[in-house]
Amino acid sequence: MKAFECKGCSTIIFIKRNVKEPLWCPVCRTSMAEIKSKSKDRSKRKLKKYRCPECEYEFLIDKNSIPYKCANCNYTFTTTFGKLQEERL
């Protein structure tokens, strides 16, 4: 896993190593910088996984953060995205 921190709102997202770097912060669309994170830090966080239905980009974000846009394309998540998806299944 690789960690990226937003230069604007300090949101941290995690992506798999084989996934390309995020274009921008999914919350505020500021550019992101890769940060070094220890696996210990990650296990303390409660993360939620999101998958963009448009480009299939996957990332993990703090449970309390709600992504607005996909970190890789122009797709807009609705605020109830996770819940709606569960209900449909």
Q: Given the rule CB under 5 A, which residues bind Zn ion?
A: 6, 8-9, 11, 25, 27-28, 30, 52, 54-55, 57, 70, 72-73, 75
For the bound state, the minimum distance from the C-beta of residue 73 to Zn ion, rounded and expressed in Å, comes to 3
For the bound state, the minimum distance from the C-beta of residue 83 to Zn ion, rounded and expressed in Å, comes to 19
Query: 6 or 61, CB closer to Zn ion?
Result: 6
For the bound state, the minimum distance from the C-beta of residue 70 to Zn ion, rounded and expressed in Å, comes to 3
Give Cα separations from 30 to 4, 43, 50, 73 (angstroms). 12, 26, 19, 13
Query: 25 or 60, CB closer to Zn ion?
Result: 25
